Structures are given as C-alpha cells and as structure tokens.
Amino acid sequence: MAFLSRSRETSPLDGVDVVLADLDGVVYAGAGALPYAIESLTKAGEGRALGYVTNNAARTDVSVAVHLGELGLNVQPADVITSPQAATRLLQTLIAPGSTVLVVGGEGLVVELEKSGFVVTRTADDNPAAVVQGFAPEVNWLQLAEAAYALKLPVEEGGIPWVATNNDWTIPQSRGIAPGNGTLVSAVHTAVGRLATVAGKPEVPIFDEAVARFGAASPLFIGDRLDTDIKGANAAGIPSVLVLTGIDRPKHVLAADPVSRPTYILSDLRELHEPYPEARVKRDGSVTVRDATVRIEGNRVVPVDRGTRQIDLLRAAAKAIWDSGRAIYGFDVDEALYADPFHRN
C-alpha cells in the first residue's frame, strides 16, 4: 500500500475522518510522551476524531485515557480500543457466557473479562473453560505455570481455548526495549506445545472494532511496528503510517515484506501535517523523492544523491527495493540508506 500515486502532494491527513494511533512507540515510551507527539496529534484532531488502539493489556481503557490526559491529550475511555477488549469479544465466540477463565495478566484484562460476565481465576485447579494471556509487569513464573497446567491437553483431545491479547515480542520503555507479551506466550507454548489464538494486532478484529466504534469512512492508522501495526492495518484495508519513534528502524523498513509495507513513512508525527512527497521513477530505474535519489545497480542499492533530508533518502530506497520484487538479502545496500538519526525517545 506504500507510496500512493497522486497528481499533487497531499499530507497523510488529507481526506481522513478518523486517526487511529498506536500508543507505545507512537505517543509515548514508558510514562513520558515522545517528542512532538502530543502537539501533532492534538492538531490532527482538529476537525476529525482521534482513537487509540493498543496491544498493551496491562491497563484498562480508563487508566489509558487518564494517562493520555496527563500528557496533554483530550481522551475519553471510549476513545481507547485495547487488546483485552478484542480478546474478550473473541472469547464470547468460544465459550459459554459466565464461564470461568484463567487469566495470565493484569488489571486491564481482568476488568474487561468481568465486565463481560466471565469469572476470573488464577489457578488451573478451578477447571477454567479457557486461558487468556496478556502482558503485565507483574506476570511471573507462577502465572505461566498455571497456564501450562490448564493447557496440558491438546485441542484435539478436548483441550480448552487459549487466547493471547497480542504477540508483540518487545515493548519500548523509557530505559530501552523490554520483552513483550510474545515472549511470555512463547514460554507457555514451549511448555505445552500449543499455539495461542491472538486477538490483538496484527489480527483484523481489533481494527474492525476501532473503525466501527468511530463510524470511520476514511481512517488512517499510525504505528511503529511493521509486524503488528502496519501488517494489521494493511489486512484491514486501512492506509497506514509508520513513524520511526518506536521499535522498527530504517533497516527494517527496507526489508519489509509486501504485507507489512506502510503507505507513509514518517520520522516523527510533525510530518503528518506536511505534504507527503511523490516518489518519481526515472527511465533508468532510479527513484527520486524530493532531492534524494537512489538507484539499483546489479545487486547494489546506492545513493545517487543523498539530498537534504534522511527521511526522503529512506523513502526513495524503500520504493526502489520494494518495486524490484527482490528480497533484501539479495542486495548490497549502502549504509547511508539506512542511517538512523530519527527520534526514538
């Protein structure tokens, strides 16, 4: 979905009626806001709705809204779509109302399950009808072990459903990159040899819920991860922005597979409000974005002109590589094309 064709340069926000933003790595890293995020999103919300879609299962929609309010955004709990909400909706299709559910996770998951009438337990001894697993900082070996005990039977032998709120391997924090829910789900998988059904990004239901909640006709999704945010938005048919303030870096952009390529690549959220440059392909196959030009020469990807903005050089390199139809490992990519001066925290 990358590099929309247009006769004039428009901003990523033109024609958009709802902006849907991921949180970790887009709005904040840890407790603090990322540079330019609050003012850029506030401006984006003038004349259109803002929603927040998060795979973080540790907190409730209320606590997320409070946190965003403290950072300077005007947010109501209904503006927040969480992976526990998606997991709960999925559970309602798998087990009977009022069933007992073993929870590995924190308050964000417990609250959503109880709101829907499920009974929460922390032990496999209560014979739960399903296991739901989401990230929380307090998750420990004891919780993972209880999940493994409850999931000891394979599905084909009558085993119970196992739903994971998300499968993100990492979480950006103020001190760096920390293990995410995917690492904890993997620990249980290693113990029991089963795979969880994932409810959050990159699965489509959480995007469908966000679009339905706002009645969006022309949504735009902003994320920092190719494998969850961008892949999920693409699967849901939603134009996407990858902002380089979180997990994925320029080298990941160049290597993105076709289902994980964003419509727009931004260094930070200020560029939501700038005209997005057209990528022009010349007769010799070189790609120019503003004053940056990249060309493929055999198996080499080289900068012909580095231009004045690193983000334009990255956009040109991505266009050239993606349009080639060749995998990144078949290229010798000049280091200048994936230089990384962009804001991360």
> The pTM is what?
0.86
Q: Quick one: which of 134, 20, 136, 24 has its CA closest to 81?
A: 20
Mean pLDDT of the chain: 94
- Looking at residues 37-41, what average pLDDT do you find? 98
Q: Give the model confidence (pLDDT) of 165-206 as tens digits.
A: 999 888 877 788 899 999 999 999 999 999 999 999 999 989
Q: Position of tokens 């699967």? A: 235
Architecture of domain 95-198: 3-Layer(aba) Sandwich (3.40)
CA quadruple 143, 148, 149, 155: dihedral sign: positive
- Looking at residues 52-62, what average pLDDT do you find? 91
18-83+202-273 and 95-198 in the same fold: yes
| pLDDT-derived band at 344, boundaries 50, 70, 90 | low
Residues 6+ apart with CB under 8 A from 325: none
Better-scored residue on pLDDT, 170 or 152: 152
DSSP state of 161: P
Q: What pLDDT is stored for residue 6 in this prediction? A: 45
Q: Give the model confidence (pLDDT) of 267-315 as tens digits.
A: 999 999 999 999 999 989 999 999 999 999 999 999 999 999 999 999 9
- Looking at residues 18-36, what average pLDDT do you find? 93
Q: What pLDDT is stored for residue 170 in this prediction? A: 86
Q: Give the model confidence (pLDDT) of 241-278 as tens digits.
A: 999 999 999 999 999 999 999 999 999 999 999 999 99
| pLDDT-derived band at 5, boundaries 50, 70, 90 | very low
Q: What pLDDT is stored for residue 62 in this prediction? A: 95
3-7, 8-12, 27-31, 180-184: least confident range: 3-7
Specify whether the CB–CB gap between 266 and 243 falls below 8 A.
yes
User: Which residue of the set 14, 17, 22, 332 is catalytic?
Assistant: 22
Angle at 70 between CA 270 and CA 59, to 5 degrees: 100
208 is catalytic: no
User: Which residue of the set 14, 24, 79, 340 is catalytic?
Assistant: 24
How far is 101 from 103, CA to CA, in rounded Å?
Answer: 6
- Assigned token pair, 23: 């949180």
- Looking at residues 88-105, what average pLDDT do you find? 96
Q: What pLDDT is stored for residue 111 in this prediction? A: 94
How far is 234 from 259, CA to CA, in rounded Å?
Answer: 7
Which of 3.40.50.1000, 3.40.190.10, 3.40.50.1110, 3.40.50.970 would CATH assign to domain 18-83+202-273?
3.40.50.1000
How far is 84 from 1, CA to CA, in rounded Å?
Answer: 28
Q: What pLDDT is stored for residue 31 in this prediction? A: 82
- Looking at residues 102-114, what average pLDDT do you find? 95
Residues 6+ apart with CB under 8 A from 283: none
| pLDDT-derived band at 7, boundaries 50, 70, 90 | very low
Domain boundaries defined on the chain = 18-83+202-273, 95-198, 279-338
How far is 287 from 307, CA to CA, in rounded Å?
Answer: 12
24 is catalytic: yes
Q: What pLDDT is stored for residue 220 in this prediction? A: 98
